[in-house]
């Protein structure tokens, strides 16, 4: 079997996996955007959730470029796409985690969203600047191919950015999320205890609101947990690539890097699924209920019409 045929099998599997992630993520985030946008009352948290789904769509838009490179095994997309690919991925990841960190609290929506996107844009900017297309000669080959790679001006700059990004765009927001959500859960539990001392009408009304808030906070907490689980491997891999500059015997296989990246891409598909299952179960149940009974009703109507026709003929 030729090397080309041997390589087609793994690439086909990778293509199917990424294509499935792309379709699920695209449909899930668009449906979630529509459901949230159709809500009559949209507070600060709903606006931030919309922002989260927009960041997921931006992240998902990188998948077709990754698939093209996987099949061509060279960079044929030009310098602009090279500058933007990892920049968009990093930007969307930063927007996602800061959106989760800001979820339950602040009220100034426009200023908060502008701050999140502005900070994420600036911190990811070095990737846009230093990614470039370079020729590279493969081992044992006479011909050079073009690759899109990150070329830092100095090792010190690379270390500074990698470490600071991991701390300020990953660990610090994560710590803020844990602290803020813990406080919110404590306040919610305390308020629910106080509701037992209220009047019957006031108690039932406030309890209903409190339960909705608990569901929302629980959903955002699940999104935060899934983000850390699914983004931690890529952060660790980036740090290992940094260590590889000092330890040349440290090997990071391309297939391992691909599956780590695919696992990270899957987070964009998981987010809308978790959100829809937690907060829009009734809406989706009504949707499928209506679809099922409309189809069933149409069948019953068709059957009744046929029976009427038969009765007319027999009479």
Which of these, 132, 124, 123, 138, lies nearest to 150 by C-alpha position? 132
Which of these, 61, 99, 96, lies nearest to 81 by C-alpha position? 61
What is the C-alpha radius of gyration for the chain, rounded to an integer number of angstroms?
Answer: 25
Neighbour count for residue 48 (Cβ, 10 Å): 23
Neighbour count for residue 280 (Cβ, 10 Å): 19
Give CA–CA dist 55/61, Å, rounded: 10
- Contact in structure between 109 and 120 (CB atoms under 8 Å): no
Residue 67 CA, chain-centre distance (Å), reads 18
Write down all domains in the chain, each with its CATH number in brackets.
3-280 (1.20.1070.10)
Predicted TM-score (pTM) of this structure: 0.79
Give CA–CA dist 98/94, Å, rounded: 6
- Per DSSP (E only), the strands in the chain are 131-137, 144-150
**Segment-wise mean pLDDT, segments of 10 residues, the chain, 315 residues:** 58 92 94 79 71 93 92 90 94 92 67 92 95 83 84 90 91 84 70 55 47 69 87 87 77 84 94 77 61 54 46 39
The predicted structure's pLDDT at residue 287: 56
């Amino acid at each position: 079997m030729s090397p080309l045929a041997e390589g087609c099998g793994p690439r086909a599997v990778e293509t199917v996996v990424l294509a499935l992630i792309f379709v699920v993520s695209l449909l899930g985030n668009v449906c979630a955007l529509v459901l949230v946008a159709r809500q009559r009352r949209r507070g600060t948290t709903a606006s931030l959730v919309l922002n989260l789904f927009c960041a997921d769509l931006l992240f998902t838009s990188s998948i077709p470029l990754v698939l093209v490179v996987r099949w061509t095994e060279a960079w044929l997309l030009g310098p602009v796409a090279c500058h933007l690919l990892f920049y968009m991925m990093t930007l969307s990841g930063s927007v996602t985690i800061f959106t989760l960190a800001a979820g339950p609290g602040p009220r100034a929506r426009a200023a908060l969203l502008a701050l999140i996107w502005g900070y994420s844009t600036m911190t990811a900017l070095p990737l846009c600047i230093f990614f470039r297309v370079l020729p590279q000669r493969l081992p044992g080959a006479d011909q050079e191919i073009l690759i899109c790679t990150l070329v830092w001006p100095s090792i010190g700059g690379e270390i500074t950015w990698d470490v600071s990004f991991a701390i300020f765009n990953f660990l610090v927001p994560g710590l803020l999320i844990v602290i803020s959500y813990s406080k919110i859960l404590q306040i919610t539990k305390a308020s629910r205890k106080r509701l037992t001392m209220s009047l019957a009408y006031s108690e039932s009304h406030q309890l209903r609101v409190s339960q909705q808030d608990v569901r929302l906070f629980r959903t955002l907490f699940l999104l935060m947990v899934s983000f850390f689980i699914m983004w931690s491997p890529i952060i660790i891999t980036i740090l290992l690539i940094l260590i590889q500059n000092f330890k040349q015997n440290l090997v990071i296989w391309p297939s391992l890097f691909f599956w780590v990246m695919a696992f990270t891409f899957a987070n964009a598909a998981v987010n809308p699924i978790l959100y829809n299952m937690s907060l829009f179960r009734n809406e989706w149940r009504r949707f499928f209920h209506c679809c099922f009974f409309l189809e069933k009703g149409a069948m019953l109507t068709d059957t009744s019409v046929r029976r009427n026709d038969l009765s007319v003929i027999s009479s």
